[in-house]
Amino acid sequence: MDGSILESIGVEIIGVMSPVSICMLLVVLIVYSLTSFSSTSGEPIRTAANLVYLEAPTDSTSEKIEGSLLNALVFVILIAAVTFLLVLLYYYNFTNFLKNYMRFSAFFVLGVMGGSIFISIIRQFSIPIDAITCLILLFNFTVVGVLSIFAEGIPIPILLRQVYMVLLGIIVAAWFTNLPEWTTWTLLVALALYDLVAVLAPGGPLKILVELASSRDDELPALVYEARPTVSRNTRGSSFGLLVGGVSSDSVEVEMTRHNATGARNGDSDELMDNRDEAEETSPLVPTLRDRIRSSSSGGSEFSMGQTEIIENEEDLSPLAAILGMGNDRETQSRSRGIDEETTRGIKLGLGDFVFYSVLVGRAAMYDLMTVYACYLAIISGLGCTLILLSVFRQALPALPISIALGIMFYFLTRVLMEPFVVGTSTNLMMF
Amino acid sequence: MTLAAGIGYVLLALGPSLTLFVTVISTKPFLILTLLSSTLVWLISLIVLSGVWRVFLPLKTTAWWPYAILILTSIAFQEGLRLVLWRGYKKLEDMLDAFADRVAKPRLYLTDKMQIALAGGLGHGLAHAVFFCLSLLTPSFGPATFYVDKCSYAPFFLISAIISLAFVTIHTFSMVIAFNGYAEGNKSDQMIVPFLHLIAGTLTLVNLVSGGCIVGIPLLYMVAFSTLAYCGKMVWRRLTENQIRLTHQNQ
């Protein structure tokens, strides 16, 4: 049967939304299963995100607001500085350095931060596993992850790469949920604003980075999730297009120093972990549309739903051939798939978006399940709006602002308005 | 043990919708998007309603009439919303058809339209179950359970899961009935949807009486099953009519 158009519309949007959903779900699960553990040990952690002010429950509200604002400011300045540094390095063609730095940071995130999360999971559920096996498994896990993230010349399945991207997002997000409440909110707002500026303002670091990368026909030196549908579905001539996205990253320096103050728990008292790791990038959904997006808008301007995903254009493999020197894995991908099949480059979403969406949802999970659902829906719809805007503006767009704004709004609306209403009616067993 | 119970409650409330989601919705990305947006619309409607009612809550009285007003206004608001949704859907359908013409694909089939309606309805139902049942389930994963005075035959979570299942069914299929009714201009189909919703809503008022849930829940399930039966009958009629028309055209 000649499939109806319902099957072909929205493939790309779902391709982005499903990993984001998986990421959020897993972060919420981790937060749920680990909160009891970490709340009892109650170690304050100091990271780059709360360098200035360490929130204590006893502080007054104004102190908290002031301190968290300062924290957010410092954090954003740090990110901006690191991003500019990255752009500078990229501008002067230190690509190899950047890639190795990314590898190193991925190694660090997967190995150390991921490792500590695994250890707390193992403790929480009392999984019987000995240290040596655990180390070997962790090492293998990490090495495969590092290889898959920037594979050069190795044909790594795209699925594996996507899985590791999501894992990186989960790990970093799970760490960020350790931040105190007020700091988290101001940080999210500040990052959303920063994202807006960095991607859209002329001279914004991410904008420069994306433009540089697209002028060089290069991949962005960043941790970016690619939603790449394997084959285009449209078998008749008109191909789905290459929605070339690039998301830049700026890696953030997050310094996590974990003072395990009360640490008598498992004998690792006064453990001081100095994790100097990069984290992620606050990044935008930055598709640089190299190819013409032809959307003959006969359906009127509102027809964005259909056009976001279905973008017709010619296939264009030539820029790929130009980057032989890079040993681009994308090329091997397209080769292995056969040249005459249209390659579809999916929308790219920065890992930072994964992280901060999940941070928001994870923070919501500490309050109640209701806020989790509300925030999830808000974030996903914000992402949908961003993708629709993407098809309208056809340039790199920040993915954080709309989603974060909606998410925070829905969080507080749910918490303040909806919860008493719903709890009040449903504990009386009344529904409608 | 409590974890198993919690998962059991979730599956009880959402099992059928999960099946529907996996078999019908998840294969078609557009339907997933429809589902998500309809869930969001329902959430927004709930927030608006609770914003209005926030001033009066929590109700201190044991009288039933404030609750009756609450339920009536909520149902009226949501049925109004269904009309708005229908307008939106109408536009969407035109766009999809125009788009299908442009890429030289067949226009929306009747079954496609019904699937969109189903996805929309399932979104409403899911949102209902999520906010009225699932979000209250957190304590059920803990070491204890909770009984309501008015209905102490079973744990509160179990009862709310059972009621949610009925409402998920009603929401899901009444959307199909309503959209079909609007499309055909069939007055009886259009009217039966608010009617069913109203009856279901008022039936939950019975739960206010001590021990009322013994009567209320079976009645609620009767409403749910009649919705299901009505929807099934209507879809069957439409499909057979359509089949006959198609074969006539082919001859």
pLDDT score at A94 = 79
Please indicate whether, in this complex, the C-beta atoms of B112 and A6 are within 8 angstroms of each other: yes
Query: Which residues of B fall within a CB distance of 8 Å from A427?
Result: 136, 148, 156
pLDDT score at A221 = 66
pLDDT score at A391 = 80
Q: Is A95 exposed, middle or buried (0-12, 13-18, 19+ CB in 10 A)?
A: middle
Give the mean pLDDT of chain A.
68
Cβ proximity of B16 and B171 under 8 Å: no
CA-to-CA separations, A33 to A112, A123, A405, in angstroms, rounded: 20, 11, 27
What's phi and psi for A140, nearest 5 deg? -60, -45
Question: How many whole angstroms separate alpha carbon B19 and alpha carbon B4?
Answer: 20
pLDDT score at A49 = 63
Of residues A280, A228, A332, A283, the one with CA closest to residue A102: A280
Tell me the average pLDDT across B75-101: 88
Tell me the average pLDDT across A366-384: 88
pLDDT score at B54 = 79
pLDDT score at B168 = 92
Q: What percentage of chain A carries pLDDT values higher than 90?
A: 4
- The model's pLDDT over A230-259, given as tens digits with 9 standing for 90+, comes to 433 333 322 222 222 333 333 333 333 333
A233 DSSP assignment: S
pLDDT score at A234 = 36
Tokens 């190995």 — which residue?
Answer: A111
Amino acid at A13: I
Tell me the average pLDDT across B122-130: 90
Chain A (298-327) residues lying within 8 Å, Cβ to Cβ, of chain B: 298-300, 302-303, 305-306, 309-310, 312
Q: Is some CB atom of chain B closer than 8 A to the CB atom of A387? A: no
Peptide bond into B58 cis (omega under 30): yes
Least confident among A81-85, B11-15, B120-124 = A81-85
For A209, the token pair is 């980075």
Question: Higher-confidence residue: B240 or A36?
Answer: B240
pLDDT category of residue A307 using cuts at 50, 70 and 90: very low
pLDDT at A87 over 70: yes
- A25 vs chain B: nearest CA distance in angstroms? 15
- The model's pLDDT over A313-365, given as tens digits with 9 standing for 90+, comes to 323 322 322 222 233 333 333 333 332 333 345 677 888 888 888 889 988 88
Question: Higher-confidence residue: B11 or A344?
Answer: B11
For A354, the token pair is 């994964």
- B202 vs chain A: nearest CA distance in angstroms? 8
Question: How many whole angstroms separate alpha carbon A286 and alpha carbon A282?
Answer: 11
pLDDT category of residue A164 using cuts at 50, 70 and 90: confident
pLDDT at A216 over 70: yes
Please indicate whether, in this complex, the C-beta atoms of A427 and B27 are within 8 angstroms of each other: no
Residue A340 CB partners (closer than 8 Å, separation 6+): none
Buried b (16+ CB within 10 A) or exposed e, A144-166: ebbbbbbbeeeebebeebbbbbb
Mutate to test the interface with A, among B3, B7, B25, B30 (most CBs of A within 10 A): B30
Cβ proximity of B191 and B245 under 8 Å: no
Least confident among A45-59, B32-46, B217-231 = A45-59
- The model's pLDDT over A272-304, given as tens digits with 9 standing for 90+, comes to 333 333 333 333 333 333 333 333 333 333 333
Q: Over the Cα atoms of chain B, what is R_g?
A: 20
- Taking phi over 0 as left and psi of -120 to 50 as alpha, with beta for the rest, A398 belongs to beta
How many beta carbons lie within 10 A of that of residue A209, not counting itself?
30
Give the mean pLDDT of chain B.
85
Overall residue count recorded for chain B in this entry: 251
Tell me the average pLDDT across A159-167: 85
Question: How many whole angstroms separate alpha carbon A378 and alpha carbon B64?
Answer: 34
Question: How many whole angstroms separate alpha carbon B156 and alpha carbon B152?
Answer: 8
Tell me the average pLDDT across A75-97: 83
Question: How many whole angstroms separate alpha carbon B173 and alpha carbon B118?
Answer: 7
Q: Is A140 exposed, middle or buried (0-12, 13-18, 19+ CB in 10 A)?
A: exposed
Question: Higher-confidence residue: B73 or A46?
Answer: B73
pLDDT at B19 over 60: yes
Strand partners, B148: B151
Active-site residue flag, A353: yes
Strand partners, A256: A275
Question: How many whole angstroms separate alpha carbon B227 and alpha carbon A36?
Answer: 44
- A144 vs chain B: nearest CA distance in angstroms? 31
Please indicate whether, in this complex, the C-beta atoms of B156 and A427 are within 8 angstroms of each other: yes
Question: How many whole angstroms separate alpha carbon A405 and alpha carbon A401?
Answer: 6
What's phi and psi for B153, nearest 5 deg? -80, -25
B54, B75, B163: residue with CB nearest A429: B163
pLDDT score at B229 = 92
DSSP string computed for A256-294: EEEE-TT-GGGS-TT-EEEEEEE------B-----S--B
DSSP string computed for A19-71: HHHHHHHHHHHHHHHHHHHHHHH---EE-GGGSS----TTS-HHHHHHHHHHH
Which range among A115-129, A152-166, B200-214 has the greatest average pLDDT? A115-129
Q: What percentage of chain A carries pLDDT values higher than 70?
A: 64
- The model's pLDDT over A2-31, given as tens digits with 9 standing for 90+, comes to 566 777 777 778 888 888 899 999 998 888
Chain B (64-83) residues lying within 8 Å, Cβ to Cβ, of chain A: 67, 70-71, 74-75, 78
Of residues B218, B199, B216, B197, the one with CA closest to residue B207: B216
Residue A40 CB partners (closer than 8 Å, separation 6+): none
What is the reported pTM?
0.77
pLDDT at A428 over 60: yes
Handedness of CA A180, A181, A183, A189 (dihedral sign): positive
Residue A118 CB partners (closer than 8 Å, separation 6+): A134, A138
Tell me the average pLDDT across B213-218: 84
Handedness of CA A27, A33, A35, A39 (dihedral sign): negative
Residue A336 CB partners (closer than 8 Å, separation 6+): A155
